[in-house]
Homo-oligomer: A and B are copies of this chain.
Amino acid sequence: MALIPRLDVAALDALPLDPLTKGLPYDGPTMRVGDVGVQDWSVLDGDLPMPVAVIRQARVQANSAWMAAFTEANGLLIAPHGKTTMSPHLFDLQIADGAWAITVATVQQMQVCRRFGVRRVLMANQPIGLQAVKACFAALQDTSFELYCLVDGDEGLAQLAEGARLNPPPEDNPLRVLVEVGFSGGRTGARSRETALTLARAIAATNGLMLSGFECFEGLLPTAEAADGLVNEVATLARRAIEEGLLSRDHPIVVSAGGSAFFDRVGERFNAHEFPFPVLRVLRSGCYLTHDCMGYAAAFERICRQTQLALPPGGLVPALEVWAQVQSVPEKGRALLTMGKRDVGFDAGLPIPQYWYRPGSDMAGPQPMSQGYKTVALNDQHCHLELPVDSDLQVGDLVGFGIGHPCTTFDRWSLLMMVDETYRVVRAIKTFF
């Protein structure tokens, strides 16, 4: 399968940054995104206000390479979910490592991809409403741009059919549609095999649309075993549709699934099915890129323990941290830091204090935080940290926090800092939430 071209990072780096952007030094001049990396700023030396969200370059590159090796070794493709980072800089890293497409959840996210040159987008969602449907068909007028999206019912299909009628796509660039397969009590997705097949037939018969396969999102299921069942259903449906002649070998056929928790099971199940001709098995994990210290860390441990797939050397490591400064130690056993709900996600657990550094000291670099430090609360702009009795944490000290569920930390920042292993800023990471 042809790779998609690298992105126009120069256009991104040329964007001006409002000096009011959270994360930039105060009272600085207006600079461009690309200027940030040449300022020689050091997080540890206090060149940046706190809090600051940092991405460790070596780690994020290693994660991207690991996933590329993993998918290649197992006959899979990856269309990384872009909603996690909404950062074209990071999309470009993923594309350089062989991503088949970028996945998005919304039309606004698709537009961000288009602006910076993503040539293939998988919208893992059903476009609904005048604005969304119109934008999809407008995008297809550019025949160098390829769009896959989902449908899970007649109403959604009717909206796409009407969109295609009003604004027909070029004959060689139809809207490629995957039928979404769901489960009772779950999110979107057809609830039965028969519903999904009926829908597939209707899509195949609609002008301007091309039935391209089936998909599911198994990430909300409670266990790997439950995920297996849903993924099997997707593969079974694809086989049935091929047998029925609804899917042709003249165009790419896709089966897809995948959050970041069960991507091994997705690969195993897809690989267990045989198809009469080539089918693209597409994972859509997004969180693997920066990984985390909580739920995805645990999920990856299970994967490494259980999977039958080939595991490349190394593995995923947490690459996203938020650093904050101790603002007050108002009583024994408690410190308050300059980081709050505005700065870090908390839906998968409170951030974990992991590193510690005292600016102006002779410390060689950040030290691992010893036992007994624990985030006990977040307010909008404050972090309440419990300290062990013998702590000598002081006002002005820096603490680096590990996070859970990267999506809800990324979306608190329109600008993150990519750093080297000494926490010097090597480039700005612009996001578009």
Contact = CB atoms under 8 A, between A and B. Distances in A.
Interface of A: 19-20, 22, 25-27, 46-50, 83, 105-108, 111-112, 115, 125-126, 128-132, 134-135, 138, 152-153, 155-156, 159, 182, 184-191, 220, 325-331, 334, 336, 338, 340-342, 346-347, 359, 379-382, 384, 394-396, 407-408, 411-412, 414, 432-433
A111 B49 CA distance: 13
Given A152-B330, A188-B328, A191-B330, 20 more contacts: A20-B108, A20-B112, A20-B432, A25-B131, A47-B131, A49-B107, A49-B129, A125-B327, A125-B381, A126-B327, A128-B328, A152-B328, A153-B328, A187-B382, A188-B330, A189-B328, A190-B330, A220-B379, A380-B407, A380-B408
B26 A111 contact: yes
Instruction: Give the secondary structure class of A's interface.
Output: loop
Nearest to A51: B106
Nearest to A116: B20
B408 A341 contact: yes
Contact of A128 (B108, B327, B331, B408): B327
Nearest to A338: B128
Contacts of A182: 330
30 contacts: A19-B111, A20-B108, A20-B112, A20-B115, A20-B432, A22-B433, A26-B108, A26-B132, A27-B135, A46-B130, A49-B132, A50-B128, A125-B327, A126-B327, A128-B325, A129-B338, A152-B328, A155-B329, A155-B394, A156-B327, A156-B328, A159-B396, A184-B331, A185-B334, A187-B382, A188-B327, A191-B331, A342-B411, A346-B347, A414-B414
A22 B341 CA distance: 21
A185 B326 CA distance: 16
